[in-house]
Chains A and B, each alone.
Chain A
């Protein structure tokens, strides 16, 4: 005795958000039923395991049928097969494209290729996220990347327009696309303490201030490439550390401002030249692809770690960076103020974001 066939189809597609989440998380039907039972679904409507199973099966089937549509979200509103109310459509799409930041952190900066896809097994066992779920997230990354790669205009807006995602999610995707495009090094052990959100924030800063699109948003192709001219101009900043007078003057200006205001004043005074040299050197080397990819590791090794070992507080760091970057204005011999501000604006906020345990 067995149920051979069991379907339920509503004119308006019946969706349960919790079951959708279970499906997205890559659970099997029996797993999902167990989880729902544990969550107390049996209390509702005098249900039993059989009913729950049948309901879960129906929902999973529906989601499976919807998946094809969700891969190009603009189709969801224009398809005829499922009559889904708009708020449910939004929910379906948003949830489908949502990802685990732990997973995204693993993939970040990697090439979104078949090779990486093969590594998903490892990522799955490492993060505890079901393989099925990893695959979906990876495919989403790849899919978004492919679509926006050939589009003109601002990245975040493109993602939002083509995938109908919320602003927050679209920004996260922009970061992923940006990292995948620029292939920043994120996998080193020293960078492990950084979360996806840290990187996403940095990516947002870089996209907003350093890319081609930041200057002229009508450029062709993917405008998340950094502006070559700007990177080239960064070499000019070397004068800040190469010119000894200027370096001393800079230091005294900063010290004058910070005296008595930060706890780590003496340490700061001692390491000022090293820190300044590190930041300027990072800037001057960004034209080389290799060094550019090492941006984050360089920042951590050469700036964040020394500060951390001297036990700078975040407040001290903030104050230091503020005055370090603004004091340059008072150096009469320095003529690259605009470039400096553009560089330091981003670096400052990135460092502050990255400065934690």
Chain B
């Protein structure tokens, strides 16, 4: 079990910040001063003792946009390179992508069984993005090649970030993912990372090749995760294939920052306008693609003549010039510039599959055989639920597969939206298998009616009323969809059954749901019984909800954990129902608890499922509820939305230059690297066309620099503070008043806000204080006396929050952003009256000021720069 969390920590915790601008300066700097501390807390009947260990961060996360070969992951199990499982290659890599492309393009590691999986993937075009070839011309090709080569210099052109500056994402291809089942006891040398590195290497290669197959050269919103049960381990990776703008890559982020600072308004001009041309060297060279920012990323990146999978392409509903797919699934946040109709909502697909108890290879094979079906059904559910809500795109898609002794659990969460650029989704059509039976027919038509009603209701609820557009007949090179998108289910995959039916829903092609067995009935029921969200609530698992801008300052971050004990001998349907109900009830109870905040939106709803024991399912949710002003949303939503966007960027810019100032103005024993100091002190001086490799060189030299600096800083915390003090971009007066506010306000306890998002509504983050990353272990030998498992965990979580807040307050901060609970491992032994729990949380400590306060103080003269360079207050 220890291996379990150690492994995950090392592999999936790349970043807590989620913005490109953070990527270099902030994450690296904050890694340098990150507060890694490990708390062991033992809790006994009457007394609790705690020991605090502080250790140097072993591997400060110095990731650039590329994932380095991981070198210091903790070990697990024993080593055996190459695990022959089924017939086929030595490493039976289970690979699957949502953007089902030709398996021949992907790596040859796939076993024959994985080929079948791929053939099962839906024929609907999921991957998408676009760039019509005709108009583009040779310049565009050249541009792409150039960017591509810049990116391809990196081993893995993967970005773990999920939000990017406008214009950075040129095209989005779709979700790419890969999974692999491994046996941990086959590692010969568990302390050495070679075997595990090789495993991840395979998966990353897989991802890279998937992205290539979609015509993309990079992967954004990339993440890796593991699920371990006994000796079996499922390694998963997923991301979104994308084509990135070359000008950002060439000039490097510093230049981006500069550019944004100079003309933020231009970048954020209204959605439909085109991004201003004079932006960086590539534009001046004439390589800039003329694409409207609101729909550009939806245009397909792949060649429509050699489409990697059958998909329905239409001309973009925004610009009418490029091709777009009918649905788009991504793992990233909704780009700020995207044109969205109506509101979005959280969409979850939940699945439980029983599995025979087995050992070793047999077990791994069983899991491998189940995985494709599991993933396929999850996908089908997502698709159905998306259609049911009348939406056409998913953002922030996160699929978790958990493995237990006797079951596999799959939970896919995403935020559905209606992208204006994409075609309106067709309805869902149900067909019966025996159309002769009259009562049966009636039953079917009832269900059909219900479904249609739900779609209509949902469209109203989410305010989806796209402007009616005259269908233009597009000379699509792919065979016109007589072969229609059919709703697939794993147990009835003989696709020829439906091909004869013509069930068009209006002019749109409908999804056909065929009821051929009890499973199908269940599925449809599940679809319809998903409760509707209570009035006044919205929910999403992305940073923000499209269409809501007027956030009030009321935020409530929360964590909820539920553990459910299952009966034995449950059928798949039974399990499914229980698991689905568990998630639904959890959501419902969240709404109930937060009803006082209405109207509000639950943002960044992050579900984590686990199977801690044989018959237990654990679901943990961390999210933030944010109130918003309904009136204003309706009136001037658009306007203020833009304002927020600009603010957000200015924040990042400030945060950025702030860190740079720290480098230049503090008399650091280390001489600042040239590039860094240049930009810091003379922001106007920017290298016009630095090629990518030199940028990478610069990056690595910074990393070295930062590592050194981190080392120096770690020796004494006093120094850190003083250097941060000097770096303050604020007029002295204000930072003093901030401090005095804190110390003199009646209560001695400072209020610390926490949020999983990267911003605080209505406030401006003026300083980043570094990463908070804490591990807590709590044990009790008096479980009953502490109110049972719930009492124990409730206290523990409350204390974790309290410790995080105290830590931040001690650093002088007043908020934690990008907060996440990465681990919550709970084990109990009620017979012994004992329980243990491990929690790992992380986030960024920040200082924020309310915008209202800021306006008051901003009139002060900016004479502070001279003062600060003289060396702060020395507190």
Chain B binds chain A: yes
Q: Which residues in A have some Cβ–Cβ distance to B below 8 Å?
A: 1-12, 14, 44-48, 50-52, 54-55, 57-58, 61-62, 64-65, 77-83, 86
Known contacts A9-B560, A44-B592, then 6 further A-B pairs from the complex at CB < 8 Å, ordered by chain A residue: A5-B793, A7-B790, A10-B557, A47-B588, A55-B589, A83-B802
Question: Please, which residues of chain A bring their CB within 8 A of the CB of B558?
Answer: 8-11, 14
Q: How far is the CB of B587 from chain A (nearest CB, A)?
A: 10
CB neighbours of B806 from chain A (8 A): 80
Task: Collect the chain A residues with CB atoms within 8 Å of residue B618's CB.
Answer: 5
Q: List the A residue with the shortest CB-CB distance to B561.
A: A7
Looking at A8, A57, A86, which has the most chain B CB atoms within 10 Å of its CB? Answer: A8
Residue of B nearest to A3 (CB): B564
Do residues B564 and A2 form an inter-chain contact, with CB atoms below 8 A? yes
Question: Please, which residue of chain B has its CB at the minimum distance from the CB of A86?
Answer: B747
Q: Please tell me if the beta carbons of A5 and B749 are within 8 angstroms of each other in the complex.
A: no
Interface residues contributed by chain B, number (CB under 8 Å): 50
Q: Are A55 and B565 in contact (CB under 8 A)?
A: no
Bits for B605-618, please: 1 = Cβ < 8 Å to A, else 0: 00000000000101
Of the residues B585, B794, B795, B802, contact of A80 by C-beta under 8 Å: B802
Q: Which residues of the other chain, A, contact B138 by a CB distance below 8 angstroms?
A: none
Say yes or no: A77 contacts B593, CB within 8 Å.
no
Pairwise interchain contact A8-B560, C-beta atoms closer than 8 A = yes
Q: In the bound complex, how far is the Cα of B581 from the Cα of A50, in angstroms?
A: 12
A87, B561: Cα distance in complex, Å: 28
> CB < 8 Å: which of A52, A57, A86 contacts B790?
A57
Write out, one digit per residue, whether chain B residues 587-627 have a CB within 8 A of any chain A CB (1) or not (0): 01111111100000000000000000000101000000000
Residue among B558, B801, B802 with most chain A CB within 10 A: B801
* A-B CB contacts (within 8 Å), total count: 126
Q: Tell me whether B494 is interfacial, beta carbon within 8 Å.
A: no
- Tell which of A2, A44, A45, A64 touches B565, judged by Cβ atoms closer than 8 Å: A2
Write out the residue numbers on chain A whose beta carbons fall within 8 Å of the beta carbon of B537.
Answer: 45
Q: Encode contact with A along B169-187: 1 for CB under 8 Å, 0 otherwise.
A: 0000000000000000000
Contact status B585-A1, CB under 8 Å: no
Complex contact A78–B747 (CB within 8 A): yes
Q: A61-B791, A65-B794, A78-B749 are in contact. Are A8 and B595 (CB under 8 A)?
A: no
Cα distance A78–B537 in the bound complex, in angstroms: 34
Would you mind naming 13 contact pairs between A and B with Cβ atoms under 8 Å apart?
A5-B563, A5-B618, A7-B797, A8-B559, A9-B801, A12-B556, A47-B588, A51-B585, A55-B592, A61-B794, A62-B794, A79-B749, A83-B751
Task: Considering the complex, give the chain B residue whose CB is closest to the CB of A13.
Answer: B798
B806 to chain A, nearest CB (A): 5
Q: How far is the CA of A83 from the CA of B749 in the complex (A)?
A: 9
Given contacts A8-B593, A65-B798, whether A1 and B557 have CB atoms under 8 Å apart is no
CB distance from A88 to the nearest CB of B (A): 11
In the complex, the answer to whether A4 meets B789 with C-beta atoms within 8 Å is yes
CA A11 to CA B751, docked complex, whole Å: 10
CA–CA, A8 to B801, complex, Å?
Answer: 12
Query: A residues within 8 A CB of B752?
Result: 83
Contact, CB under 8 Å: A9 / B559: yes
From A5, A54, A81, A82, B789 is in contact (CB under 8 Å) with A5
Residue among B567, B578, B589, B746 making CB contact with A8, cutoff 8 Å: B589
* Residues A4 and B565 in contact, CB atoms below 8 Å apart: yes
Query: Across the interface, which residues of B come within 8 angstroms of A6, CB to CB?
Result: 561-563, 790
Which chain A residue has the least Cβ–Cβ distance from B578?
A1
A164 CB → nearest B CB, Å: 11
Q: B33 at the A/B interface (Cβ < 8 Å)?
A: no
A47 to B566, CA, bound (A): 23
A3 surroundings in chain B (CB, below 8 A): 562-565
B531: chain A residues at CB < 8 Å are 46
Q: How far is A78 from B754 in the complex, measured between Cα atoms in Å?
A: 19
* Interchain CA distance A329-B509 in the complex, whole Å: 104
Cα distance A87–B507 when bound, in Å? 58
Q: Please name all residues of chain A whose beta carbon is closer than 8 Å to the beta carbon of B826 when the two chains form the complex.
A: 5
B589 engages A54 (CB within 8 Å): yes
Answer yes or no: B277 CB below 8 A from chain A CBs.
Answer: no
B799 at the interface (CB under 8 A from A): yes
In the complex, are the beta carbons of A45 and B591 less than 8 A apart? yes
Quick check: A11 and B562 within 8 Å, CB to CB?
Answer: no
Asked if B556 and A45 make an inter-chain contact with CB atoms under 8 angstroms apart, the answer reads no
Q: Which residues of A are found within 8 Å of B561, using beta-carbon distances?
A: 5-7
Among the interface residues A1, A9, A62, which one has the most CB atoms of the partner chain B within 10 A?
A9
Q: Which residues of A contact B566 (CB under 8 A)?
A: 1
CB contacts (< 8 Å) of A5 on chain B: these are: 561-563, 618, 789-790, 793, 826
